[in-house]
Amino acid sequence: MSLPTTVTGIAQAVRRGQVSARAVTQAALDRIAARDAEIRAVTRLLTERALQMADALDACIVAGEDPGPLAGVPIGIKALFDIKGLPTTAGAAMRVDAPAAEDDAAVLQRLTGAGAIPVAVLNMDEYAYGFVTVNAHFGTTRNPRDTARLAGGSSGGSAAAVAAGMLPLTWGSDTNGSIRVPAALCGVWGFRPAHGSVPEEGSFPFVPMLDTLGPFAATLDDLETGLAVAMGRPVAPLSALSVARLDGWFVTHAIDAYEEIFSAIGRVLGTMPMAHLPRVEAARAAAFFITGHDGGRLHRAELAQRPLAFDPETRDRLLAGNLVPTDLRDRAADFGAWFRARALDLLDRYDVLLAPATPDVAPLIDNPVIHTGDGPAPARANLGMLAQPISLAGLPVLCAPVSRPGKLPLGLQLIGAPGREGALFDLAARLESGGVLGV
Amino acid sequence: MTDVFTPTRWSEAEILDRFRAAGVALPAPCLPGVKANLALLEDRWRVVQAALAEIEP
């Protein structure tokens, strides 16, 4: 039989012994070899370990054991997850000789415990501080939908590997939008879990108050399967009975193409009320301010010892963050608590809130400018302006690709309350059936 | 505690002093980029500060 390409298809065929995990793994390696010279999503292949794991898994199948819901599924992971025996670079050249990790990251253990086979480490902005995946050492990840354009970031390698068809499931991190931005720009499904719902042990931190770890996939089912394994529990089925579109900031700073998209959503759902989340601009500012402080402090020792070893784009931001007073950072966090409470108030009235994921489509690599409500703006600083406020609220967000045949991808944030992720998957499925969403 | 954060008013010597106090010797090539990022942080803090003033009793 021909090899399946989806997570669910691969796992089912491997569990039934219809295809071998080794064949699936080798096929993924072959796809990467064929495509990644152009895309540059992969920073390291895990060939030897992957083939050994595949052989071991095939032996389990022969012995009558069930490896789990990700049996034989080749996955890729952002370069900030610990992999036993390898340095965790977090996208930093200065860490290529760091001590080897003593164990796999906790979330990677859950994935491999369910049968997944890690085959590649994926590119990112240095230390996850960026929305573009332009890395001075590991290169720029190109957008598979248009290789003249950026993939977005900081989990750009993870999104691009799925969009290019190299891997069916990848893993990234999202502090201020680093899953949602690249998922939107590359036109794949992504999920930012509620803060704390996926274990973070063994991942290189950035801003612990905001950091989350989540999946990318080419199908909605695959996204849910990966998320459930990582959370250690199924996504509880829920219906999205009431849905609203966020107004204000989320309308002003998105390109006009979103109006057609929301009109189409309104036709599917029958209604599309607007909802108001107060002081969104301040939420974005607070997340930015906290990130500067916490990221700067995290790297202060290295900045003191060898500042010129950093990627210049990362370094100057981390340095500046070191001069943010901690008492003001704490005041920004106080505002964050207020903002989260307002967001949860709104989610008492609505099951799902909708908002664009990025202001514009993927910018050109040679001219990284996007359009916002303030006019043309630098992509690096503004791609996350619609994602960042939701990070401050700590909410789970499903980032869905809008169905736009022949056009550059755009993404939609489906925002819910922690523990009610099922409503996000329910709405996404309905909108996909209605032709509004989908790869 | 003060709510004032106005690094755009700091002289270059003051910026360097503040880094030294934090244990970081700022290399000269970093200064322009650091100043640009401090200006962004100042702008963002101003937005947060205004919101706090409106929501707190």
Q: What is the DSSP string of A96-127?
A: TTSPPBSS--HHHHHHHHTT-EEEEEE--SGG
Closest alpha carbon within chain A to B23: A304
Instruction: Assess whether pLDDT exceeds 70 at residue B1.
Output: no
Strand pairing class (A139-140; A134-135): antiparallel
- In chain B, how many H helices and how many E strands? 2, 0
What three-state secondary structure class fits A194?
coil
Question: pLDDT grade, residue A267 (50/70/90)?
Answer: very high
* Among A311, A240, A286, A264, residue whose Cα is nearest residue A434: A264
List CB contacts (< 8 A) between A345 and chain B. none
Q: What is the pLDDT of residue B2?
A: 65
What 8-state DSSP symbol labels residue A242? -
CB contact set of A226 (below 8 Å; sequence gap of 6+): A7, A70, A111, A169, A171, A215, A217
In whole angstroms, what is the distance from residue A392 CA to residue A209 CA?
A: 9
Report the predicted TM-score, pTM, of the whole model to 2 decimal places: 0.97
pLDDT at A427 over 80: yes
The CA distance from A122 to A91, in Å, is: 9
Q: What percent of chain A has pLDDT over 70?
A: 100
| Helix B31-55 vs helix A312-321: crossing angle, to nearest 10 | 50
Asked whether residue A223 carries a pLDDT value surpassing 90, the answer given is: yes
On whether the CB atoms of residues A318 and A209 are closer than 8 A, the answer is no
Q: Does B21 touch chain A (CB under 8 A)?
A: no
Tell me which of A78, A155, A173, A203 is the catalytic residue: A78
pLDDT exceeds cutoff 90 at A52: yes
In this structure, are residues A125 and A135 in contact, taking their beta carbons and an 8 Å threshold? yes
Average pLDDT, chain A: 97
Q: Which of A155, A173, A178, A203 is catalytic?
A: A178
**Tokens 């999104």 correspond to what residue?**
A159
- Summarize pLDDT for A317-365 with one digit per residue, the tens: 999 999 999 999 999 999 999 999 999 999 999 999 999 999 999 999 9
Whole-number Å distance between alpha carbons of A122 and A80: 9
Residue A391 among the catalytic residues: no
Which residue of B4, B48, B52 is the best one to mutate when testing the A interface, meaning the one whose CB has the most A CBs within 10 A?
Answer: B48
Cα distance between residue A16 and residue A12, in whole Å = 6
Range A412-428 average pLDDT:
98
Average pLDDT estimate for A67-90: 98
- Give per-residue pLDDT as tens, A99-134: 999 999 999 999 999 999 999 999 999 999 999 999
Residues 6+ apart with CB under 8 A from A234: A228
Which helix (H) or strand (E) element contains residue A265? helix A257-269
What is the percent of chain A with per-residue pLDDT over 90, rounded to a whole number? 97
Contact B14/A at CB under 8 A: no
Per DSSP (E only), the strands in A196-242 are 212-217
Q: Report how far Cα A437 is from the mean position of its chain's Cα atoms.
A: 18
ipTM, interface predicted TM-score of the complex: 0.97
User: Which residues of chain A does B23 touch, with a Cβ-Cβ cutoff of 8 Å?
Assistant: 300, 304
Of A315, A320, A332, the CB nearest to B48: A332
Whole-number pLDDT of residue A84: 98
Chain B: nearest CA to A96, how far in angstroms? 23
Query: Minimal Cα–Cα distance from A411 to chain B, Å?
Result: 26
Instruction: Determine the pLDDT at residue A335.
Output: 98
Chain Cα centroid distance, residue A381? 18
CB hemisphere CA count around A432 (13 angstroms):
19
- Pick from B24, B37, B51: which is nearest to A317 by CB? B37
User: CA-CA distances (angstroms) from residue A380 to A147, A186, A233, B8?
Assistant: 18, 16, 36, 22
Chain A CB within 8 Å of residue B27 CB? yes
Residue A437 is encoded by which pair of tokens?
Answer: 């969403």
Tens digit of each residue's pLDDT (9 = 90 or more) over B2-53: 689 999 999 999 999 999 999 999 999 999 999 999 999 999 999 999 999 9
The one catalytic residue in A20, A154, A158, A403 is A154
Q: Tell whether omega for the bond before A391 is within 30 degrees of 0, i.e. cis.
A: no
Judge whether A154 counts as a catalytic residue: yes
Q: Is B3 on the interface with A (CB under 8 A)?
A: yes
CA distance B46 to A234: 43
